[in-house]
Amino acid sequence: KAGNLTRKDTLKRHLARARAVTGKNLFNCMPVTFSLPTEYVQFCDAFSKERDAMEDISQNIWIMKPVGMSRGRGIFLINDIQHVSFGDNFVIQKYVRDPLLIDGYKFDLRLYVLVTSFNPLEAFVYRDGFARFSTAEYSSSEESISNKFIHLTNSSIQKQRADAELPKHLRTDGEGGGGRLHGDTKCALEHVFDVLEGQ
């Protein structure tokens, strides 16, 4: 079922299975990920190894995501194993501390694919999509890891920040939903792809 791809824990499981079956690096598109609480011991081992290999242990940052929630709800970062939550089922992933940025801000791309058949696989990628941006400049400092305006790009999170607090190029002039570039979707995507091509 396609629903297996929309939950973070089942997506993790299916990607692991695809890697095991095919042996291809094509499926290495997800950071180191563990499902909690079932893989807590494995996570503790990985957390300890990362910490022991670092000069600055505050940079051993992981991101916790509830498996069945959306719009950034319940997501938080940790750099201390004592802050791991066990209230619900989570995935916990090694946080990408050096992400690709645009003008110092985190972003993500939303591109849409229409799958008309799974066997044989037939899919169409839409030409249009959109980019979502954080509204605070990126930092991985210990003081910043609780700041969702830095680390999450979800529109439902970013729109909580008043336009008056935003840098000018991210203001929406009262249209709501901060974290967008001025101009239409095509312009935003062209800017993103220009940055990607320059890497």
pLDDT per position as a tens digit, 128-173: 777 888 888 999 999 999 999 999 988 888 888 766 566 665 655 5
The parts of the chain modelled with pLDDT lower than 70 are: 1-3, 26-28, 87, 162-199
Residue with tokens 């999509």: 129
Residue with tokens 């946080």: 95
Residue 76: its pLDDT value, please? Answer: 92
Residue 121: its pLDDT value, please? Answer: 84
**Spatial CB neighbours of 116, under 8 Å, sequence gap ≥ 6:** 122, 123, 124
* Number of residues written out for the chain: 199
Residue 167: its pLDDT value, please? Answer: 63
Please give the backbone phi and psi of residue 169, each rounded to the nearest 5 degrees, phi first.
Answer: -75, -5
Residue 26: its pLDDT value, please? Answer: 67
Residue 174: its pLDDT value, please? Answer: 47
